[in-house]
Chains A and B, each alone.
Chain A
Amino acid sequence: MTPLAIAFLPLTDSAVLVSAREKGFAAERGIDLTLVRTTSWATVRDRLVFGQVQAAHMLAPLAIAVTLGLSQHPAPIAAPFKLNINGNMLVMASGFAAALDPDVIRRTADPIGSAHDFAAAIGLYHRKPVIGVVHRFSSHALMLRYWLGYAGIDADRDVTLRVLPPSLMAEALRTGEIDGFIAGEPYGSIAIADGLAEAVALGPCIWQRGVEKVLAMRRDWMEANADTVDRLLQALTAAAGWCDDPSNREELAELLARDEYVGQPAAALLPALSGRLTLRADQSAIDVPDALLFHREAAGFPWRSQALWIYSQLVRWKMVAATPDHERQAAEVFRSDIYRRALVDMGEPMPGASLKLEGAVTQPMPVGAHRGALTLGPDRFFDGAVFDPADVAGYLRSYRIGSDHG
């Protein structure tokens, strides 16, 4: 057995890692998996960068930021596998949400209208609203900026973004320190169930197939341990298939609920797992079938174009300078080549390309695959924009807010 330690944060999307260990997928491939529960992304990063663990559950933009050395020493990170797609929710306290469409279902189903309503609500509010985010380099923070930007809101100017650990968000809402937050599940659902906030925007309604957590490794470690990496990716793929199977949801929720994993009641974990989200405490749940994806549509495949979309957002919000060198380094964090190598013999449908237009699929579309049949789900951005990875600069010029054109 090869011992392997992976750091994770207590979130619903740690599911693939937890089931790889608890359902024996790792052990079947000779990996003795230890999961190291960690409470901040800073500590996940340090444990990974300084070699206390071999791999980590990591925010995709953070993996790129660490590689580029943004607000820290640069350390080359590789992400050969995505742990999930989607799983986020923006919730706001009712004091702020009162100025939005009172019908929460219509509100979340119409992100264009809601973005404009949100802009108007800022004007009506007695001060700049404070929105909690879990990290500057989180997918949800980038998605929030993107959504607000559509309605002319510059997140750096018109709202205050406050970084807070998800476990403290509810308390901060209660004391009025924040007016809402965007975070990975189960924290949005918990705040709603406690009557502290209501849903304002759902991740999949902003970007239908939003990149979320990746499996991150140090690049040099990954290169020196090819066999272990391949077996790990095979184990995680099997685990992801198990997590996506509706008949396993109850068991998965019970597993995640344990104190050593997420440590929240199974009832709080089930909404995202089953795609049945409650948007306000006084309403019944609605179907959001793409609330969280683990395996279907080759969800684990790290499209380099997705790394480049994240890079484009880092440039747009002036977190990194646009240079060909940065662009290349960012794209190289997503290692579709390693994914292919590891899973070639598992019969997984394998995309024919490693880059694609992001946001161009409007209905389920069969795509070229080396083996098996692969159908990609709709991946539209709510504003209808299409990201062409070959022309990042052109894409950014089309945005009024952010970058150097605002």
Chain B
Amino acid sequence: MRIVIIDDTGLRATVLEEGLREAGYDDIHVVPPRGAFVARLERMAPDIVLMDLGDPSRDTLEEMLVVSRALARPIAMFVDRSDETMIGAAIDAGVSAYVVDGLRKERVKPIIDLAIRRFNAFARMQAALDEATTALADRKTIDKAKSILMTSRNLTEPDAYALLRSTAMNQNRRIVDVAEALITAAGLLGGDA
């Protein structure tokens, strides 16, 4: 069974490819949706194509499925439209799958199930990564604002933080937003920000 993953970023494709290999599939190719990717895909003659639902090149791929002579057999998204639960889960996870018509459902379903799980895992990883990055950036901003307050108003560190926090609460804003405003203001006033 030849599986082609169309992916631009690499990381998601790696996560998916690993999963497929662990499950015993070994004929897997990753193709970025750039330039003449459609011609490459035709040469590969895949049985299943997996792609991120959010990838803008889906229309390009579908056009190829309509006009391609190399891929003579029609290809359909999802094998069995009656399986609404799986389709819903796939769309939620952001999986789009193109399957050569005539492949038996029991051969395809495990691959799509696995893709759904892996796409979800990837989304969680991404969210955790974003959160960590944001938290780190926020902490740096708040530290900087604290040090401005400590110098300019001669406050201790806990007092500087308390002042930021009470200002944020009074104005119904996030601490990091207040800290950012303070840094900008200090910069404009020619402080040591």
Contact = CB atoms under 8 A, between A and B. Distances in A.
Interface stretch (A161-169, A209-217, A356-364, A377-385): A161-169
A223 interface: no
A403 B65 CA distance: 22
Given A43-B96, A47-B91, A50-B87, A168 B62 contact: no
A40 B58 contact: yes
Contacts of B77: 46, 72
B14 interface: no
Contact of A167 (B56, B61, B87, B91): B56
Contact of B56 (A72, A168, A177): A168
Interface in B40-59: 53-59
Contacts of A134: 59
A2 B60 CA distance: 36
A52 interface: yes
B181 interface: no
Interface in A89-112: none
Best-buried of B59, B62, B63, B96 by chain A (most CB within 10 Å): B59
Contacts of A52: 88, 91-92
B56 A39 contact: yes
A38 B77 CA distance: 18
Contacts of B192: none
Nearest to A138: B59
B125 interface: no
B96 A50 contact: no
B96 A46 contact: yes
Contacts of A136: 63, 66
Contacts of A43: 53-54, 58, 96
Contacts of A41: 59
Interface residues of B, number: 23
A42 B76 contact: no
A340 to B, nearest CB: 33
Q: By DSSP majority rule, is chain A's interface helix, strand, loop, or mixed?
A: loop
A168 B57 contact: yes
A165 B88 contact: no
B22 interface: no
Interface in B57-99: 57-63, 65-66, 76-77, 81, 84, 87-88, 91-92, 96
B190 interface: no
A28 to B, nearest CB: 26
A46 B59 contact: no
B24 interface: no
Contacts of A42: 58-59, 61-62, 96
Interface in A48-92: 50-52, 71-73
A135 interface: yes
Contacts of B63: 135-136, 163
Nearest to A175: B35
Nearest to B60: A163
A269 B63 CA distance: 28
Contacts of A50: 84, 87-88, 91
Contacts of A167: 56
A135 B56 CA distance: 12
A405 to B, nearest CB: 23
Contact of A177 (B35, B76, B88): B35
Interface in B112-151: none
Contacts of B87: 50
B64 to A, nearest CB: 8
A39 B84 CA distance: 23
Contacts of A71: 62, 65-66
Contacts of B61: 42
Interface string A16-35: 00000000000000000000
Contacts of B81: 73
Nearest to A319: B66
B65 A40 contact: no
Contacts of B60: 162-165
Given A40-B58, A73-B76, A46 B35 contact: no
Contacts of A73: 76, 81
Contacts of A165: 56-57, 59-60
Contacts of B76: 72-73
The 6 closest A-B pairs by CB, nearest first: A165-B56, A163-B63, A39-B56, A40-B58, A42-B58, A71-B66
Given A41-B59, A42-B61, 10 more contacts: A42-B59, A42-B96, A50-B87, A52-B91, A52-B92, A71-B62, A135-B63, A163-B59, A163-B62, A164-B57
8 contacts: A39-B56, A42-B58, A42-B59, A71-B65, A71-B66, A72-B77, A165-B59, A177-B35
